[in-house]
Amino acid sequence: MAENSDVYFIDGMRTPFGRAGEKGMYWNTRADDLVVKAMTGVLERNPGVPGDRIDDVAIAATTQEGDQGLTLGRTGAILAGLPLTVPGFAIDRMCAGALTSVTTMAGSIGYGMYDLALAGGVEHMGRHPLGGGDVDPNPRFLTEKLVSADALNMGITAERLHDRFPELTKERADRYGMLSQRKAQAAYDAGKFQPDLVSVAVRDADGAWGLATEDEGRRPETTMEGLATLKTPFRPHGRVTAGTSSPLTDGATMSLLAGGSAVRELGLTPKMKLVSFAFAGVQPEVMGLGPVPSTEKALKRAGLTIDDIGAFELNEAFAVQVLSLLDHFGIADDDPRVNPWGGAIALGHPLAASGVRLMIQLAAQFAEHPEVRYGLTAMCVGLGQGGSVIWENPHYDGKKK
């Protein structure tokens, strides 16, 4: 009988994130090629892991068609040069795709069935806008009033959070968005992101080749005055703007996970240890609230409270969404533990890829902060869900800073 195992995040890398659309750097790059770049980056950085020992490859995409179709885990593994004995599959939980790739592989490792796995996600929102071209929602959603007609419009769900919680003002959201941009640029200037980015060869409209080396959507020059003048595209006189939303983005992420016996046998150095994870559902109309119940569930399963969490990587789908979670748990808008290098408002949110970006950044926080024992990666999910994963810092030394 296989024995239950601890689960470790060994490493993670990602492509730089590009602005979706014809002017974005990945307009002429295939989604599956982005997957391959992220995968080969992780494998090359971990040469002590034999390719034939990878038990499975889970790759998430929200829109599974075209160059994001064809069972991405399997096709990506073949294209990346892994032995044909390595299987793979595709996964979809909209924005929490890569997060679910990791927790699904973690379950298999934790149960003792797998030793090593690759888990990640991709979204090419330039080629595949949210929902794709062929989505056909069941008419019962509307005729039986199961879901509001606009629940699939994420911007409108964000406006509803402002409605429900008047204390979540536009000014607070604007300030949060501005600080995300500033923190991301400061982290770039300090060289924080660069070690975990895989450069991608790209070709422009004229056929000239270039190299994508950093996230394209950043706007460090953002000011409160500028944010105050932006249109509110989701509602006349609304409160959600482009400055407080994650931009449409292309990119891929990849992580290497391992069980305890593989860590010992191959002499691996884990960056994080998985403590607990949880998913939860909420009304689709207020999907941004999803990470609140999923985080409460994950904390309960770990026997922890929010006070035990010393580092937070929260997906900034919208500023108001992060603020709703911070308010719920009594955390200040500018708490230094939260997204210290900025988040998706500045870096971008290639839907199914984002969960592993959060993990890559948390792992880097852990290395810098041995006084922090536990960290949280959490995100809201379209159609009213939340996903949360709690991690333990292997560098933890018990000393207070």
Question: Closest by alpha carbon to 388, among 324, 300, 328?
Answer: 300
Q: How many other CB atoms are found less than 10 A from the CB of residue 71?
A: 15
| 37-59 b/e (C-beta count within 10 Å ≥ 16 → b) | bbbbbbbebbeebeeeebbbbbb
Please, is 330 exposed, middle or buried when counting C-beta atoms within 10 Å of its C-beta (0-12, 13-18, 19+)?
exposed
CA–CA dist 128, 350 (Å, integer): 11
Give kind and range of the element (H or E) at residue 212.
strand 209-212
Side-chain-side CA neighbours of 15 within 13 Å: the count stands at: 35
Q: Phi and psi of 115, rounded to 5°?
A: -100, -40
Question: Closest by alpha carbon to 255, among 89, 58, 85, 62?
Answer: 58
Q: Which of 124, 128, 162, 349 is catalytic?
A: 349
Q: Where are the beta strands (DSSP E) in 63-165?
A: 89-91, 116-124
CA–CA dist 179, 169 (Å, integer): 16
Q: Which of 95, 128, 162, 369 is catalytic?
A: 95
In the residue annotation, 380 being an active-site residue is answered as yes
Give the CA distances from residue 115 to residues 42, 59, 270, in Å, rounded to whole numbers and listed in that order: 17, 18, 14
CA–CA dist 317, 386 (Å, integer): 12
Task: Give the amino acid at 334.
Answer: D
Please, is 395 exposed, middle or buried when counting C-beta atoms within 10 Å of its C-beta (0-12, 13-18, 19+)?
middle
In the residue annotation, 237 being an active-site residue is answered as no
Partners of 127 in the β-ladder: none
- Helix (DSSP H) and strand (DSSP E) numbers for the chain: 12, 12
CA–CA dist 292, 298 (Å, integer): 10
In the residue annotation, 162 being an active-site residue is answered as no
SS3 assignment for 69-88: CCCHHHHHHHHCCCCCCCCC
Cβ atoms of 97 and 353 within 8 Å: the answer is yes
Tell me the angle at which helices 291-302 and 319-328 cross, rounded to the nearest 10 degrees.
40
Catalytic positions: 95, 349, 380
